[in-house]
Amino acid sequence: MGNSSLSPSIKVISASEFSDLLTKLKRDYQSQYYAMYSSLWNGIVTDPVLMLVPVDDHMVHRGDGVFEAFKCVNGNLYNVHRHLKRLEYSASQV
């Protein structure tokens, strides 16, 4: 089924092909990505191609989620206390 097509431009992708495609998606700018907690993998991932959010995740289809992005400069988190305070407040409102 992996090589069959629904139409000339839409391919049905097998699990092994999916793995290969993920590797090809990696971009140079992603080397700046450090880590992400993944509910899909139930753990922290450090490979950007594994930083995925399932379409059925409540954050995606219901807008039910909280996130915060931290800027890291020379190994130091910029404004970390302000970010954590905002994250804590947002999480208390969900």
* pLDDT of 86 strictly over 90: yes
Domain boundaries, the chain: 28-93
Nearest to 91 by CA among 66, 74, 72, 70: 66
pLDDT value of residue 5: 55
Confidence at 3, pLDDT banded by 50, 70, 90: low
pLDDT value of residue 4: 56
What are the tokens at 35? 């880590």
Place of tokens 């208390």: 92
Q: What is the dihedral of CA 40, 1, 49, 54, to 10 degrees?
A: -30
Nearest to 36 by CA among 18, 15, 21, 57: 57
d(CA 23, CA 16) in angstroms, rounded, equals 11
**pLDDT digit string, tens, across residues 39-75:** 888 999 999 989 988 888 877 777 777 888 888 888 8
